[in-house]
A and B are shown apart, each in its own frame.
Chain A
Amino acid sequence: MNFSFPFHLDRTILVRGTVVCTLVVAATMLYLWQHMVMVDLGYHIERSRTELAELSHQRAELLVEVASLSSLARIEFMAHTQLDMVQPRPKQLVRVMPASADANDDPEGPLMLAANTLPSP
């Protein structure tokens, strides 16, 4: 087939064109690469956020559970029914005063003891 293109390209133009194209492609690839890195970081941040939210949720759950389990009504009920504990009678409570006068200023206050005057089983 005797067909020719209606203009001429010399090698210099081809080489230059190739170089330009390569640079454009390289720049595009660089742009795409950093975009992909950004997207990947975005996923990473979102995963971290989700993890943080889950951990916060677990923490809230545990705090509510601790608050519920430390209810004084529950503790007193368990002390009475499961451990057979009783309130000390007023006379069973003994306050031990510090020996020295300075020790009266102890911020923790005097030591309280419960004297076991219950009959032996």
Chain B
Amino acid sequence: MSNQAGGKPGGTAKRGAKGVVRPAPAGTKRGTRRRSAPGPLPGRMAMVMISVAGAFIVILAQLVNLQVLDAPRLASRAENQHHKTIRLAGERGTITDRNGAILAKNMDVPSISADPSKITKPRATARSLAKVLPVSAKGVEKRLKGKGRHFSWVYRKADPTQAAKVMALKLPGIHQIPESRRFYPKGELLGHILGFAGMDNQGLSGIEQVYNKALQGKKITVVVERDALGRSIMPTDSRYDRPDHGADITLTIDEVIQYHVERELDKAMATTKAKGAQAIVMDPRTGEILAMAVRPKFDPNRAGSFKPEEARNRLITDPYEPGSTMKIFLAATALKEGVVTLEEKIDCENGRMPLRGGAMHDTHAYESLSFEQVLVKSSNIGSAKVGMRLGEDRLYNGLLAFGFGKKTGIELAGESAGLLYPVKRWSGRSLASVAIGQELAVTPIQLVTAAAAVANGGKLMRPYLVKSVKQGQTTTTVHPEARRRVMSKADAADLRRALVGVTEKGGTATQAAIPGYNVAGKTGTAQKADLIRGGYAKGKYVSSFLGMVPAEDPRLVMLVVIDEAQGKYYGGTVAAPVFKAVATPSLQYMGVHPKTDRTITLAANGASL
């Protein structure tokens, strides 16, 4: 053993671990070591390595703790800190008129929110906010209280200047968030038709409501990475892009004609002191609505400050008894059925005709009139007699063919079908009454659509308001739709020629005449129904004028309705002037020029005119 322990001669014995003595390597002297040869590490090196190993063990232990023992909790915390899920909504589509003028568009505005958990003095904070924002301090205070709550709205979609004032207060826990708000830059123009969008950009009435699905932008949820400062680095989903915007809608409305209509309705409201007024302008060739206006006014930018009935589009929702304007469709049906000609003389009974349960009167007494003159003079007795020749079924079916008693299908919510009783519900007096526009109710859109059929040569068109819908790069265009032929082209031309007499000397609507154009039309002055006592209300009239111009080849069909005009109330005196005032500049704007026989020499001897 001693020899083994001593090793080879010249070698150095070293005591290894556990007291085992190992022989020194051959060829080494005691106290010296060859650098190239392996050997035990010196003490300092060993200490360093032990320290490093120890450190690694500590790190390893911590690693096990982090990655295994405490992993679920830490992973959850990291996830919350590192990733943020945000909801992005595409911008609501824009609504423009037929020439691209913007009528409704979204824009970002500041909203004021609060983190109640960080507000220590809710009462003082609420008072400060109430001084700057149009909110009550008590209401805001309630929203600023609440343990564990981290979010509460204070005031949504504020004016930028108001928001700037709030942020200048530097109130703890009060933040500003951008939100998209709907703007209607033309204000009251077309307000009833556009409707309005609510706080969350959802369409609540008008075009905004009907086309809400198309207008709304696509909503997407995106997870973004955040750095230590909370800044987003980039979305984790590489396919992420901006969400799709809602579709842009182009209306058939022409802003210029719409403006003329609204301006003239305002003037009529001021001069007649009427309760309300409405007008529609249609292109009879296509059924496109060029203008549509209702009074009293409605501004969708301030929708909350109007009563619901003020926002209603009465042109489609409110049927009324039309009176004499219906004689156009009586005449159309009578000509189609061949029961009368325009030249045929009709006995007008000197202004009084006995009827079951009473008598029918004319405003002016006539002995006899041609059917054309019956229309021009708006004789009730002459019209009733033509209605009697037609009979109940043919008159009823004729009016049904023109679209009365059914919805027109215009793209607006709440359309009324009007009221046209079936023949079995007619009384002994109904035939005469319906012939002169009583005992039935129609909406203005029904009337103007039916008149457009007379104007375009006999085709009943579907009225429409939306010309095209553009979603991304795809544009869907709405085309005119003829529903059916309701009269022959020749009868329509004859009827228009007869109706020109209404606006000429001796007619009931001379104030609708436009120099240089032939205007065909018909006045209507109907007593309003007394909804409480029954029968007709005394002194309450709906005055209207339904016209088309130029009569030879109409480009505009227009209905003007004045509700309860004070003082003068005949359709020819209160509604016909509005027709003229709108049609004159509109025809010039559309390039439909008047006939003139004036000869003017230009640039001759000093360019004088």
Contacts and interface: CB of A to CB of B under 8 A. Distances in A.
A93 interface: yes
B488 interface: no
A90 B39 contact: no
B72 interface: no
B593 A5 contact: no
Contacts of B233: 39, 42-43, 46
Contacts of B103: 67
Interface string B221-255: 00001010001111000000000000000000001
Contacts of A117: 609
Interface in B502-542: 515-516
A8 interface: yes
B125 to A, nearest CB: 29
A94 B601 CA distance: 11
B107 A1 contact: no
Contacts of B107: 57, 60-61, 64
Given A46-B231, A60-B108, A5 B255 contact: no
Given A5-B40, A95-B593, A67 B101 contact: yes
Interface stretch (B116-124, B181-189, B330-338, B369-377): B181-189
A87 B37 CA distance: 113
B36 A11 contact: yes
A63 B105 contact: yes
B105 A64 contact: yes
Contact of A68 (B45, B185, B263, B600): B185
A25 B42 CA distance: 27
Interface in A1-16: 1-6, 8-11
Contacts of B17: 6
Interface string A98-121: 000000000001101101110000
A45 B186 CA distance: 37
Contacts of B37: 10
A11 B233 CA distance: 47
B596 interface: yes
Contacts of A71: 185-187, 189
Interface in A39-71: 39, 41-43, 45-46, 57, 60-61, 63-68, 70-71
A87 to B, nearest CB: 8
B256 A72 contact: yes
Contacts of B43: 1-4
A69 to B, nearest CB: 9
Contacts of A61: 107
A68 B593 contact: no
A73 B38 contact: no
B148 interface: no
Nearest to A40: B233
A63 B102 contact: yes
Contacts of B585: 87
Given A46-B233, A90-B516, A10 B38 contact: yes
Contact of B40 (A1, A4, A63, A67): A4
A94 B46 contact: no
B106 interface: yes
Interface in A67-93: 67-68, 70-73, 76, 87, 90, 93
A67 B103 CA distance: 8
Nearest to A108: B591
A15 to B, nearest CB: 12
Contacts of A66: 102
B234 A94 contact: no
Contacts of B106: 60
A43 B231 contact: yes
A90 B584 contact: yes
B108 A73 contact: no
B606 interface: no
Interface string B45-59: 111010000000000
A82 B55 CA distance: 86
B78 interface: no
Contacts of A3: 43, 46-47
B38 A4 contact: no
B48 to A, nearest CB: 10
Contact of A5 (B41, B227, B263, B591): B41
A121 to B, nearest CB: 18
B604 interface: no
B600 A94 contact: yes
Contact of A90 (B38, B234, B515): B515
Contacts of B270: none
A45 B38 contact: no
A72 B102 CA distance: 13
B259 A64 contact: no
- Minimum-distance CB pairs A-B, first 7: A42-B234, A4-B40, A67-B185, A5-B41, A8-B38, A67-B102, A3-B43
Given A5-B49, A63-B105, 10 more contacts: A3-B43, A5-B46, A11-B36, A41-B234, A64-B185, A71-B189, A90-B516, A90-B594, A94-B598, A112-B588
24 contacts: A3-B43, A4-B41, A5-B41, A8-B41, A9-B41, A39-B227, A42-B225, A42-B234, A43-B231, A43-B233, A46-B232, A57-B107, A60-B106, A67-B102, A67-B103, A67-B185, A68-B186, A71-B186, A72-B255, A72-B256, A76-B263, A93-B588, A94-B600, A95-B596
